[in-house]
Amino acid sequence: MAAKMKIMDIPSNTAVCICEHVFEKSAPPMLFAREQTGELIATCGCEVKKAHMVGFGHLVKFFEDIKQEEIPEEGSHFEKDRKTDIWKKGVLEA
């Protein structure tokens, strides 16, 4: 069985959908998720009103703490706790 790909192995040109706050650099990503469709998303935790697409290479510095983790499975995520700054795994709400 092949090893699962880690976050650090995501090619820098892989498209990631981000919220306007991360795009404008007014807030860091606090949620890194993989939709049921396989699409990767990074948001500050807000309701996304205007989405942007960027290459993962523009975001990699924010995921230094979890770069050794496997890429989230479809329908799951990593969310950074605002009080402890610790990333925790979870399941996306339907």
pLDDT (average), residues 85-92 = 94
Half-sphere exposure (Cβ direction) of 50: Cα atoms closer than 13 Å: 5
Rg for the chain (alpha carbons), in Å? 12
Tell me whether residue 4 is in a domain: no
Tell me whether residue 70 is in a domain: yes
Mean pLDDT value across the chain: 92
Tell me whether residue 68 is in a domain: yes
Tell me whether residue 26 is in a domain: yes
Q: Is the pLDDT of residue 1 over 90?
A: no
Tell me whether residue 22 is in a domain: yes
Structural domain range at position 22: 11-91
Say how far apart CA 26 and CA 89 lie, in whole Å.
24
The pTM of the full predicted model, rounded to 2 decimals, is 0.89
Tell me whether residue 2 is in a domain: no
| Total tally of structural domains belonging to the chain | 1
Q: Is the pLDDT of residue 46 over 70?
A: yes
